[in-house]
């Protein structure tokens, strides 16, 4: 049993309506990750190699994160496709759980990336 056309449209609209929440979370996560980078960089990276965040580098980081957000949105769209295939009963709780899984995975990646960079510099001298 699979979703009928009306149920597929309901699912598509649900994912469309929640994209803003997803992107807002990605934006906040990126901002927090960048703050961690700016705060911890001089403390952790500078003793090992020169740490300098210029205006040009800031723009480069912003563009790179924008590209990462575009890629994340491709995966967000895959959430609808997974929902359509694995949720034949059109269960809202399944859809919400799938969204939460993707959301928390996606918003944790920027912070984990910065944490990995900082840890690699911490252990580089040891």
Q: What is the pLDDT of residues 29-57, one digit of tens each?
A: 999 999 999 999 999 998 888 888 888 99
Task: Say what the pTM is.
Answer: 0.89
Closest by CA to 4, choosing from 88, 86, 98, 96, is 88
Give yes or no for residue 125 having a pLDDT over 70.
no
Give yes or no for residue 100 having a pLDDT over 90.
yes
Residue 126 pLDDT: 60
Q: Sketch the domain layout of the chain as residue ranges.
A: 5-122
14-23, 43-52, 59-68: least confidently modelled range: 43-52
Q: Burial-class residue 30 by CB neighbours within 10 Å (0-12, 13-18, 19+).
A: buried
Q: How far apart are CA 98 and CA 79, in angstroms?
A: 7
What's the Cα-to-Cα distance from 42 to each of 7, 59, 74, rounded to whole Å? 52, 19, 34
Confidence bin at 70 (pLDDT 50/70/90): very high
Q: Burial-class residue 79 by CB neighbours within 10 Å (0-12, 13-18, 19+).
A: buried
Look up residue 106 and give its two tokens.
Answer: 């996606």
Rg (CA), the chain: 19
């Amino acid at each position: 049993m699979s979703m009928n056309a009306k149920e597929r449209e309901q699912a598509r609209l649900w994912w469309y309506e929640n994209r803003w929440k997803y992107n807002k979370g990605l934006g906040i996560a990126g901002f927090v990750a960048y703050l961690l980078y700016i705060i911890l960089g001089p403390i952790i990276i500078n003793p090992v190699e020169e740490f300098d965040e210029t205006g040009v580098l800031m723009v480069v980081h912003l563009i790179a994160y924008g590209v990462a957000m575009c890629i994340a949105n491709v995966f967000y769209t895959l959430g609808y496709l997974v929902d359509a295939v694995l949720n034949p009963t059109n269960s809202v709780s399944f859809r919400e759980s799938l969204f939460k899984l993707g959301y928390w995975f996606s918003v944790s990646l920027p912070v984990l990336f910065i944490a990995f960079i900082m840890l690699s510099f911490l252990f580089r001298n040891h």
